[in-house]
Structure 1
């Protein structure tokens, strides 16, 4: 399966399973090197100041971690939920939203997958950044749980 096919299928999955993603205009920009990049237009996600709405920033950051785990597990029957999260808003986002979730350390990811395979449940902490013009505007950290 090509990266383009995976990108399109992941966007479709998010729109079907989490309807707010379609309203937000969320798209998968890239899946490369174990990382996932999601984008959304400012037009559908702005606040009264013309910058990105904090709730949209939190939602797309949460989705980036969710999407990365969905892809990494490759198990479409897995249920992935967010257990806890924290956000730091460093700078306003004045243009399109771009959320980057880099795959965790290979050993940590392997432990997560092994625990999921053995116990049908595993948890992992992921970091997502929302970036604009090579500047980190939002830092997100979330603990996710995958279960069958």
Structure 2
């Protein structure tokens, strides 16, 4: 897959503003209305067993949610933080790390955006999946907050 200009611009933004993303080798793979996918190579993100390090999986999943919300929000003066999250590691990742943030229900996203524009603060729950060979290896559910 050839990266688009917009995905390369987004990747550059992540590498500049969140240096860990550069160290991990994060790349923007897909951006559309239903999901956002980031990937990272196994090599700089492996543990002593040769599988993906749990901290790298967590960081990539958290970053996928952050990036999805940053795009959906469209307000470049807003600050996005993760308030809380739960992560479940169902199986080891032995290859490329690939995290996909699924778009929330359109009504919930619209409500989030409306509250943000009215009050300058809003929160929303997002789900991020890390899959390998068509099977879910990691699930992160996080509450993200946008602040003006």
After TM superposition, is the score higher than 0.5?
A: yes
Q: Which interval holds the TM-score relative to the shorter structure?
A: over 0.9
Helix, strand or coil: the match of 1:7?
helix
Helix, strand or coil: the match of 1:125?
strand
Q: How far apart, in 2, do the equivalents of 1:8 and 1:73 lie? A: 19
Aligned to 2:7: 7
Q: How far apart, in 2, do the equivalents of 1:146 and 1:6 lie? A: 22
Aligned to 1:97: 97
Aligned to 1:46: 46
> Any gaps of 5 or more consecutive residues in structure 1?
none
Instruction: Give every structure 1 segment of 4 or more consecutive aligned residues whose post-TM-superposition deviation is greater than 2 Å.
Output: none
Aligned to 1:109: 109
Q: How far apart, in 2, do the equivalents of 1:5 and 1:145 lie? A: 28
Aligned to 1:55: 55
Q: How far apart, in 1, do the equivalents of 2:5 and 2:144 lie? A: 26
Q: CA RMSD in A?
A: 0.9
Helix, strand or coil: the match of 1:76?
coil
TM-score, normalised relative to structure 1: 0.96
> Any gaps of 5 or more consecutive residues in structure 2?
none
Once the two structures are overlaid, the 10-residue window that deviates more, 126-135 or 5-14, is 5-14
Aligned to 1:118: 118
1:28-82 Cα deviation digits (max 9, x unpaired): 0011233100000000100000000000000000000000000001111110000
Q: How far apart, in 2, do the equivalents of 1:7 and 1:73 lie? A: 16
Aligned residues: 146
Aligned to 1:37: 37
